Chains A and B, each alone.
Chain A
Amino acid sequence: MSLEQTTPYVAHHFDDADQQHDASSLGMWVFLVNEVMFFGGLFTAYVVYRTAYPEAFHAGSHELNITLGFFNTIVLLTSSLTMALSVHAAQVSRRAMLVINLILTMFLGAVFLGVKAYEYTHKWHEHLIPGPNFVFDGPDPVHAQLFFSLYFAMTGLHALHMIVGEVLLGILVLRSLQGMFNKYYYTPVEMSGLYWHFVDLVWIFLFPLLYLLGRH
């Protein structure tokens, strides 16, 4: 990288583009570690209550639609692929490929959220929302509410992260169209990519823990 090409993108408090990039990357990872602990509290609650009430969790998991869960997992993995391809497109200064991949990622994220909304609506009609109207004919209905509380809290927090990701992607599409990213400067694309992949990581663990538990 020559100095003249990168200088317009380097803020005055950094020595060079590499230092600026490393600082952004490290900061993003610190944020993601913080996010791991944020979700970690819910995962810990899951471990505690699943250990305490295994039958209720087993039965509760049976109410979830495994086909939709599998479909959404594939959708999210595909969106991670298109996100990785977006970063790659930015690295080689291909603006059209960058915009197309970002829009594809946004679209796949929207499909995921749409399926999630459909699942939530279905749970509402089935009276599976914890509270006074909760109806469950499996064993241990009282503690099955714990499973559904955790299901809604964990997938809800995950969906909230997806919505934030969609906003980030929207901003990236606009900035890409303005030609703000090229091989000398694509840090925002890369950092939003890290965030998007992290959200995918959370789902990689949520899917087996919520949907696949007790299928055998």
Chain B
Amino acid sequence: MSHEADALTVKTCLGVYAALVCLTAITVGAAFIDMSFLNTPVALGIASVKALLVMYFFMELRHSNRLTWVLMGSSGVFLLIMIMLTMSDMLSRGWLGYPGK
């Protein structure tokens, strides 16, 4: 491997790290601003960007094959299914006005 490619990789790592630290600072700052119901979506949005940066660069998803991408995506899909089905039950309880609902 050439020295140029080598230096570039370290540079990429440092760049991603700088972005992650900046996003952490932004998410802490944003937490102190009252955005009513938007605070949690904003915090989770920033966390998701950080997660994607870590996965894409540090976990080498950019050099991984499609099967790995599908697997990684499936974890998100199954997590969403678990949370959405559970919440659809939790939130709709009491909608029907008889005991045992």
Please tell me if the beta carbons of B74 and A208 are within 8 angstroms of each other in the complex: no
Q: Which of A127-135, A164-172, A194-202 contacts B (4 or more CB under 8 A)?
A: A194-202
Say if the beta carbon of B10 comes within 8 Å of chain A: yes
Say if the beta carbon of B96 comes within 8 Å of chain A: no
Please tell me if the beta carbons of B13 and A204 are within 8 angstroms of each other in the complex: no
- Chain A positions within 8 Å of B1 at CB level: 91-92, 183
CA distance A142 to B70 in the complex (A): 42
Please tell me if the beta carbons of B79 and A40 are within 8 angstroms of each other in the complex: yes
Please tell me if the beta carbons of A208 and B31 are within 8 angstroms of each other in the complex: yes
- Report the count of interface residues on A (CB-CB < 8 A): 49
The main secondary structure of chain A at its interface with chain B is helix
Please tell me if the beta carbons of A51 and B82 are within 8 angstroms of each other in the complex: no
- Chain A positions within 8 Å of B91 at CB level: 51
Q: B67 touches which one: A26, A47, A74, A197 (CB < 8 A)?
A: A26
Say if the beta carbon of A25 comes within 8 Å of chain B: yes
Given A81-B14, A215-B31: A48 in contact with B21 (beta carbons within 8 A): no
The main secondary structure of chain B at its interface with chain A is helix
Given A73-B24, A84-B57, A208-B44: A92 in contact with B17 (beta carbons within 8 A): no
Please tell me if the beta carbons of A204 and B51 are within 8 angstroms of each other in the complex: yes
Please tell me if the beta carbons of B35 and A216 are within 8 angstroms of each other in the complex: yes
Q: Which of A3-11, A27-35, A116-124 contacts B (4 or more CB under 8 A)?
A: A27-35
Q: B68 touches which one: A25, A40, A207, A213 (CB < 8 A)?
A: A25
- Chain B positions within 8 Å of A73 at CB level: 24
- Chain B positions within 8 Å of A77 at CB level: 17, 20-21, 24
- Chain B positions within 8 Å of A212 at CB level: 27-28, 31, 43
- Chain B positions within 8 Å of A65 at CB level: none
Minimal beta-carbon separation of B69 from chain A (angstroms): 9
CA distance A209 to B47 in the complex (A): 10
Chain A residue at smallest Cβ distance from B89: A48
Please tell me if the beta carbons of A92 and B75 are within 8 angstroms of each other in the complex: no
Chain A residue at smallest Cβ distance from B71: A29
- Chain B positions within 8 Å of A30 at CB level: 71
Interface set of B (CB-CB < 8 Å, partner A): 1, 6, 9-10, 13-14, 16-17, 20-21, 24, 27-28, 31-35, 39-40, 43-44, 46-47, 50-51, 54-55, 57-60, 64-65, 67-68, 71-72, 74-76, 78-79, 82-83, 86-87, 90-91
User: Can you list 5 contacts pairing A with B, beta carbon distance less than 8 Å?
Assistant: A25-B68, A32-B75, A33-B72, A81-B16, A208-B47
